[in-house]
Amino acid sequence: MDLKHLLLCHLYFRSLITRLKCLLIGQIRKDKYSAGNFIDLAYNATRRNTQASVVKGDLINRVKKDPAFQAWRKKIIAQYKMNPLLKKRLDVFKLGGDKFFSLEGDIELRLSIRGAYINADFVESNGTTTINYSIDDTFDIKQQGGRGTAYNVINGVLEPIWVNFFHGNEDMKVEVRWNETITK
């Protein structure tokens, strides 16, 4: 065994012992950490104590500019203006482009938040309407039913590496929240 492997083993066992100590004395935190890009999300997911990441900054701006989101936003605002009794919309759609394995679209957004639930709540006050948007996703690398064969084959190889080598969280929640004010 060379020095590099010895050092990696030492670091791995040291982090394992630290985690065990925290488990024994109940100090594992389940905090939410912010993420402004894909690297932040990946880093947060390798912190085994991370329950969720809250998207901020550049990544949230990418969501707002995504063509799929823009089309959905336009549609729900038109529906709301035709029927102001519509106070809530919940849909599922794909961010970052049509095809997962493509160089077209926003690759970072596609890797960060792909197929997600998006919710829009309309709140009226003083002649204006605020739309509270929320997106909930899971940052995972897993084989899943309903996904394409290529996706599942690649994740079948990546999942053990992600979990065993990088100590990646298998089901970290990703939360995206923002609001917008519109006038009638």
What is the per-residue pLDDT across 59-110, written as a single tens digit (0 to 9) for each? 999 999 999 999 999 999 999 999 989 899 999 888 877 766 666 777 888 7
Q: Report the amino acid identity of residue 65.
A: K
Please give the model's pTM, rounded to 2 decimal places: 0.72
Q: Is 160 exposed, middle or buried (0-12, 13-18, 19+ CB in 10 A)?
A: exposed
Our CA dihedral for 58, 61, 62, 66, rounded to 10 degrees, sits at 180
Predicted confidence (pLDDT) per residue in 151-171, tens digit: 666 666 666 666 666 666 777
Are the CB atoms for 57 and 36 separated by under 8 Å? yes
Considering the chain, what percentage of its residues have pLDDT values greater than 70?
Answer: 60
Place of tokens 């940052």: 139
d(CA 105, CA 66): 9
